[in-house]
Amino acid sequence: MDYGIIGQIAKARRYAEERHRVRFHAFKVSLAGDNHMHIITYSETSGWHCTSDFFRAHGWSSHTIALERILQGMIAPTPPTESKELGAQSAIISQIEKAKKYASEPKRVRFHSFTASFSGDNHTHTVRYEEGKWECTCNFYKSHGWCSHIIAMERILGVMVAPAERAAEPR
């Protein structure tokens, strides 16, 4: 048995319980709302964007709030947004109610791409995901095509991502 591989899998389990190791730099997801599908993008430099009308008017939406909840601890906290336009109080309350519901239903969310740093025990690596294709900057990934960081991210993100293909994985 390859102890390197066993070690990677044990690490991945532990890492998956330690979300603070992950820091998203950018991502693109789709979120199936009750009525429409929306595309939400985030980047540390340019912040949030969402295709919903509510977002256009307010700079936030049920979709961005839901993702902030789902990814809590893995994205930089967003400063409170000043609405560009004062909406009806009832519309705001309804967005927040929706956000709570969406956040509890991660199957509505699908990641198309992301870039994240992953702080391992010794080094920080960059994990990239693009429509089901995974990549990591660590040495184990270079020789095996998978690694503890990718497995940990798969566990953390669950139904929101497509699992990596692991040709080199032990059977």
- Which part of the chain contacts Zn ion (CB under 5 A), choosing from 28-36, 57-65, 86-94, 128-136? 128-136
The answer to whether 22 and 117 are in contact (CB under 8 A) is: yes
12 scored as a contact of Zn ion (CB under 5 A):
no
Q: Quote the least distance from Cβ 5 to Zn ion, whole Å.
A: 13
| 20 CB neighbour count, 10 Å cutoff | 8
The answer to whether 25 and 43 are in contact (CB under 8 A) is: yes
64/108 Cα distance (integer angstroms):
13
Greatest pairwise CA separation for the chain in angstroms: 63
Q: Quote the least distance from Cβ 158 to Zn ion, whole Å.
A: 19
Site for Zn ion in 130-149 (CB under 5 A): 136, 138, 141, 147, 149
- 3-state class percentages of the chain: helix first, strand second, coil last, to nearest 5: 40, 25, 35
Q: Quote the least distance from Cβ 81 to Zn ion, whole Å.
A: 34
- Which part of the chain contacts Zn ion (CB under 5 A), choosing from 62-70, 78-86, 95-103, 122-130? 122-130
151 scored as a contact of Zn ion (CB under 5 A):
no
CB nearer Zn ion, residue 27 or residue 154 = 154
Secondary element (H or E) of residue 17: none
Contacting residues toward Zn ion, per CB under 5 A: 125, 136, 138, 141, 147, 149
